């Protein structure tokens, strides 16, 4: 972890360790299974690219759609602990279902995984953000640590589950993802005992004092700004999630994966992105810190614009790779490495920024459902990504297909910057309180 965070680590709330580890094991199970999904459908079950893309689209979008329902039910009826345990159990059952042969078990497993994620994901992020209610200046720094846990799991999952699935047995790969989820449940059970009881209390601010009542006029603008950035994140996820679908198939069919005489499984290449997150995350975080000291740290809206622009660069590299692949040549693995490098830089400017932004800006009584709205935008983006990946041949060539994401990313960046320029004063006024409370800006 970067030096600024090492210096301040002792000041972070004690509860970050169990939540970090729980998220890490859950993400290991998710990304391990995700790395196998399209390859399993195409290679083992004989699905066409279009059918495999449709399954991927429905599953990944459902994964990010269910947090809206899970967040709503938690806000109204359930405790945070109950929802996290329920989500974990459903996901464990989903992984176990995938370990059995047959389409019925396969589809049941996907449904259980998506439903479980709906209860787990928004509440885990919300609880982590609430750890910093008394230390708001460390919130972004804390989400950097949290995001490292996500990507540590994302690094290990495809290597472990992908290698077992492609080299030994597909269902063994899915089963190994289930072991990751089981370990995560055990970690949360024991780790949650170290968390303060006040953390689990919901809606502590429902009784609005005269002091907070004067700030009620900011509730609607805050929600609108969250919705605006959530909408533009759709442009990001629509392109970024090609990694698990069309880029996964490109690695399988069009990439020379031999290294020192050993052929790397296509699914294992899904670990490149989280590896880059772990390598470059601290560097980007240090960059934000240096800019903050000079009072030049970009606000979340500007970081979103930067993210979409960088994402377009990554797919511009992919356009070049596709040109070579269309000649019948197996392209160097370095092309995908460079694509994932630019995609990673783009992700670092958007995904952890969005988590921290929503966690802080959302009014407490709407915290879980607004976190669900953030994940809802992920759902739309993932669905579009999966559907488009299945019909890449309909665009005339792979070059045209990947060029689409260059144009969409840069168009989104230009449009968002235009809105920001148009409404700069009210946006900056809304963000002013957030920027003033930062002491250690991070990713």
Band of residue 202 on the pLDDT scale cut at 50, 70, 90? low
Q: What's the mean per-residue pLDDT of the chain?
A: 82
Residue 409 has what pLDDT? 95
Residue 66 has what pLDDT? 87
Name the pairing type of β-strands 262-263 and 258-259.
antiparallel
Residue 130 has what pLDDT? 78
Percent pLDDT > 70 in the chain is 88
Residue 124 near residue 21, CB atoms below 8 Å: no
CA distance 351 to 369: 18
Percent pLDDT > 90 in the chain is 27
Q: Judging by beta carbons within 10 Å of its beta carbon (0-12, 13-18, 19+), is residue 422 exposed, middle or buried?
A: exposed
**pLDDT, mean of residues 291-310:** 86
Residue 1 has what pLDDT? 33
Band of residue 440 on the pLDDT scale cut at 50, 70, 90? very low
Return the closest-CA partner of residue 374 out of 223, 227, 239. Answer: 227
Residue 109 has what pLDDT? 94
Residue 200 has what pLDDT? 72
Per-residue pLDDT reduced to its tens digit, 242-274:
988 889 889 988 999 898 888 888 888 889 999
Q: Judging by beta carbons within 10 Å of its beta carbon (0-12, 13-18, 19+), is residue 294 exposed, middle or buried?
A: exposed
Tell me the CA distances in angstroms from 236 to 232, 241, 265, 351, one per residue in order. 7, 8, 27, 9
Give the predicted TM-score (pTM) of the model.
0.78
Report domain 16-197+217-437's class: mainly alpha
Residue 141 has what pLDDT? 66
Per-residue pLDDT reduced to its tens digit, 108-143:
999 999 999 989 987 887 788 777 777 766 666 677
Q: Token pair 């792979």 is at which residue?
A: 398
**pLDDT, mean of residues 326-331:** 89
The torsion angles phi and psi of 196, rounded to 5 degrees, stand at -65, 140
Helices (H), 131-218: 139-157, 163-167, 170-191, 210-213
Return the closest-CA partner of residue 399 out of 336, 328, 322, 338. Answer: 322
Per-residue tokens: 105? 């078990």
Band of residue 209 on the pLDDT scale cut at 50, 70, 90? very low
Residue 5 has what pLDDT? 40
Within its chain, how far is the Cα of 277 from the centroid? 12
**pLDDT, mean of residues 362-388:** 80
Residue 223 near residue 370, CB atoms below 8 Å: yes
* DSSP letter (8 states) at residue 205: T
Greater confidence, 185 or 294? Answer: 185
Residue 322 has what pLDDT? 93
Residue 320 has what pLDDT? 94
Residue 17 has what pLDDT? 81
CA distance 285 to 10: 18
**pLDDT, mean of residues 346-359:** 82
**pLDDT, mean of residues 50-62:** 89
Band of residue 207 on the pLDDT scale cut at 50, 70, 90? very low
Q: Token pair 């609430």 is at which residue?
A: 130
CA distance 24 to 157: 10
Residue 265 near residue 162, CB atoms below 8 Å: yes
Greater confidence, 282 or 107? Answer: 107
pLDDT at 208 over 60: no
pLDDT at 87 over 80: yes
Return the closest-CA partner of residue 251 out of 165, 134, 332, 320. Answer: 332
Band of residue 368 on the pLDDT scale cut at 50, 70, 90? low
Per-residue pLDDT reduced to its tens digit, 393-439:
777 788 999 999 999 999 999 999 999 888 877 777 777 754 443 43
């Amino acid at each position: 972890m970067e030096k600024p965070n090492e210096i301040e680590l002792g000041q972070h709330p004690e509860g970050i360790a169990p939540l970090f580890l729980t998220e890490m094991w859950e993400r290991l199970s998710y990304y391990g299974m995700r790395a196998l999904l399209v390859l399993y459908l195409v290679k083992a079950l004989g699905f066409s690219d279009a059918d495999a893309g449709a399954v991927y689209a429905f599953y990944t979008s459902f994964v990010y759609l269910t947090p809206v329902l899970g967040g709503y039910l938690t806000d109204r009826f359930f405790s945070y602990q109950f929802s996290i345990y329920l989500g974990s159990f459903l996901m464990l059952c989903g992984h176990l279902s995938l370990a059995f042969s047959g389409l019925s078990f396969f589809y049941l497993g996907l449904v259980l995984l998506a439903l479980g994620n709906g209860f787990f994901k928004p509440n885990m992020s919300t609880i982590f953000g609430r750890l910093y209610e008394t230390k708001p200046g460390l919130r972004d720094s804390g989400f950097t640590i949290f995001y490292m846990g996500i990507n540590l799991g994302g690094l290990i999952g495809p290597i472990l589950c992908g290698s077992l699935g492609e080299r030994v047995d597909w269902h063994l790969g899915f089963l190994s993802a289930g072991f990751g989820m089981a370990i995560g449940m055990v970690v949360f059970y024991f780790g949650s005992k170290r968390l303060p009881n006040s953390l689990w209390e919901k809606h502590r601010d429902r009784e609005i004092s005269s002091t907070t009542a004067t700030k009620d006029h900011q509730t609607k603008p805050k929600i609108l700004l969250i919705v605006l950035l959530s909408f533009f994140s759709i442009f990001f996820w629509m392109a970024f999630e090609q990694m698990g679908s069309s880029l996964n198939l490109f690695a399988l069919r069009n990439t020379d994966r031999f290294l020192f005489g050993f052929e790397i499984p296509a699914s294992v290449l899904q670990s490149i992105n989280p590896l880059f997150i772990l390598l470059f995350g601290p560097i980007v975080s240090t960059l934000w810190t240096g800019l903050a000291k000079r009072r030049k740290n970009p606000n979340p809206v500007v970081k979103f614009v930067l993210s979409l622009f960088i994402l377009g660069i990554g797919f511009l590299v992919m356009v070049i790779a596709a040109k070579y692949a269309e000649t019948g040549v197996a392209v160097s693995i370095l092309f995908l490495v460079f694509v994932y490098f630019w995609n990673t830089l783009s992700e670092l400017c958007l995904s952890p920024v969005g988590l921290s932004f929503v966690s802080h800006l959302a009014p407490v009584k709407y915290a879980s459902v607004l976190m669900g709205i953030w994940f809802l935008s992920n759902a739309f983006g993932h669905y579009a990504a999966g559907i488009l990946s299945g019909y890449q041949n309909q665009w005339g060539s792979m070059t045209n297909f990947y060029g689409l994401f260059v144009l969409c990313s840069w168009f989104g960046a230009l449009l968002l910057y235009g809105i920001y320029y148009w409404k700069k004063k009210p946006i900056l006024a809304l963000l002013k309180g957030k920027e003033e409370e930062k002491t250690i800006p991070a990713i």
